[in-house]
Amino acid sequence: MAEKLLEVKDLFVNYGSIQAIKGISFEVNKGEIVSVLGANGAGKSTTLRTISGLIKPKAGHILYKDVDLAKMPAHKIVREGVSHSPEGRQVFGTLTVEENIKIGAFVKKSIDKDTLDWIYALFPRLLERRKQLAGTLSGGEQQMLAISRALMAKPQLLLLDEPSLGIAPILVKMIFTAIKEISKSGVTVLLVEQNAKAALKLADRGYVLDVGKVTIAGSATDLLNDPKVQEAYLGKKK
């Protein structure tokens, strides 16, 4: 029987008077890659930001290993084993690649060399550019860096927000290959991704958000074959 790692229950999130998340519930089992799909404004990034403590929910529960993260500050959530690679990468442009990666270990007492070596094996380009300023990297390389920074905290649950956004196709392929390797290493992945086809081919299960609500849920195979998903996100007509 699958071991539940994350359970989001009846989550509501507001931006002022605007209700961005309207009572969503979903779960992520240990070892899975779970993909969250939806149009712009559906609430995908808001969901991840709420799980990682960057936004506080109006109501609901975020149970991670039976600990409720809903009122916990972001740095303590990282200590619990949840790391977030944000939309837009948000690297520190005036620091080197290696300095950016090491910032990810801020909740640890020391830099874990084995983790750093593993990250460089995942992303050899970052090893080649480790002394380079992060602001001089390409968009795809910065995305690799954002993921690496999140991994440096040695998470059990990795939140990935739009890792393929605005990136050259060859680098997207490299990043998705790395996500598969991250999953094989034992890290559970919750993936928000605009490239629905690539995300579902990678994922075990998926959820579709529409205007702050979960409208479709199922295995990745079921979602790939769902006519509504095909028409809305995969470019196929009924």
- Chain centroid to CA 153: how far? 14
- Whether residue 204 has pLDDT greater than 90: yes
Q: What is the pLDDT of residue 236?
A: 63
CA terminus-to-terminus distance, the chain: 36
- Domains by residue range for the chain, with CATH: 4-233 (3.40.50.300)
Q: What is the value of pTM for the model shown?
A: 0.93
Cβ–Cβ < 8 Å for 35, 191:
yes
CA 221, distance to chain mean position in Å, is: 20
Confidence (pLDDT) at 16: 87
Question: Tell me: the pLDDT tens digits for 151-164?
Answer: 999 999 999 999 99
**pLDDT-derived band at 194, boundaries 50, 70, 90:** confident
Token pair of 238, please? 């009924």
Report d(CA 54, CA 67) in Å as an integer: 17
Looking at the chain, the whole-number percentage of residues with pLDDT higher than 90 is 83
Q: What is the pLDDT of residues 67-83, one digit of tens each?
A: 999 989 999 999 999 99
Mean pLDDT of 80-95: 92
Cβ–Cβ < 8 Å for 143, 195: no
Residue 113 has pLDDT above 80, yes or no: yes
CB 56 within 8 A of CB 71: yes
pLDDT digits 0-9 by tens, 2-39:
799 999 999 999 998 899 999 999 999 999 999 999 98
